[in-house]
Amino acid sequence: MAEPAAAPAASENAGPFLTAVCRSVLAYYLAARGARPMLPHAELDPGRLVHALPHLLLFEMNSPEMQRIRLAGTAFRTWFGFELTGRNWISMGHPDERAVRQRRVDAAWAQPCGICTRMWQFRDGLPRRRLEAVTLPMAPRRDDGPPVMLVALEEIGGAPPGLRDVIEVRELQRVEWEYVDLGAGKPPA
């Protein structure tokens, strides 16, 4: 998979992120990527992301129907109550949103650009919980390898005190999303 020689500098306002994890993962990504259009997966340095590791997820874009999660940090198991590693990322969303979700990650990888997403959980009897994610494209390890996406997810403001319930994936509603210019512009929304 050929990459352009260099990417334009990232925009001054490279992200609208509210959470420290999303901001720090974006900052790491931009610094490690340098002038290239995207960070190569082989150069991802977990040692520089120790603070964020529980909040990181990597998935491979094998086909429109299969986006295999290769790594999911411990926070995902805590939030959702099950192990995500090995599951299909695209099938984790509501069936009505899967095609749109697929188009967004395809466009973000092709541009390349990031995605900022905010999701809320609404449930009777429980406080509203809000999550924020940054999704970033990564060059595959091999020229013939599948595209890779890096996701950092953090709860906005933290979980309400004493709350131990897991977040039901089907109860999350995507309330905001936008592409994030990493220096190559943004595709049309």
Residue 55, pLDDT > 60, answer yes
DSSP of 125-138, one letter per residue? TS--EEEEEEEEEE
SS3 74: helix
Q: Round to whole Å and give the CA distance between 137 and 121.
A: 26
Asked if residue 26 lies in contact with residue 154, where contact means CB atoms within 8 angstroms, the answer is no
What is the token pair recorded at 147? 């595209």
- The predicted model scores a pTM of 0.86
The beta strand positions in the chain, using DSSP E, are 39-40, 56-61, 67-72, 114-121, 129-139, 148-155, 172-180
Range 27-35 average pLDDT: 96
DSSP of 26-56, one letter per residue? HHHHHHHHTTSSSEEGGG--GGGGGGGGGGE
Asked if residue 173 lies in contact with residue 99, where contact means CB atoms within 8 angstroms, the answer is no
Percent residues over pLDDT 90 in the chain: 54
- State the virtual CA torsion across 179, 180, 182, 188 in degrees, nearest 10: 30
Confidence of residue 27 (pLDDT cuts 50, 70, 90): very high
The two beta strands, 129-139 and 39-40, are parallel
Confidence of residue 170 (pLDDT cuts 50, 70, 90): low
What does the angle CA 59 – CA 140 – CA 151 come to, to the nearest 5 degrees? 30
Lowest mean pLDDT segment, chosen from 1-10, 70-79, 121-130, 179-188: 1-10
Q: Round to whole Å and give the CA distance between 32 and 79.
A: 29
The candidate with the shortest Cα–Cα distance to 59, out of 51, 50, 68, 48, is 68
Q: Which domains does the chain have, with CATH numbers?
A: 20-40+50-121+133-180 (3.30.450)
Mean confidence (pLDDT) of the chain: 84
- State the virtual CA torsion across 163, 97, 189, 64 in degrees, nearest 10: 120
Residue 14, pLDDT > 70, answer no
Confidence of residue 70 (pLDDT cuts 50, 70, 90): very high
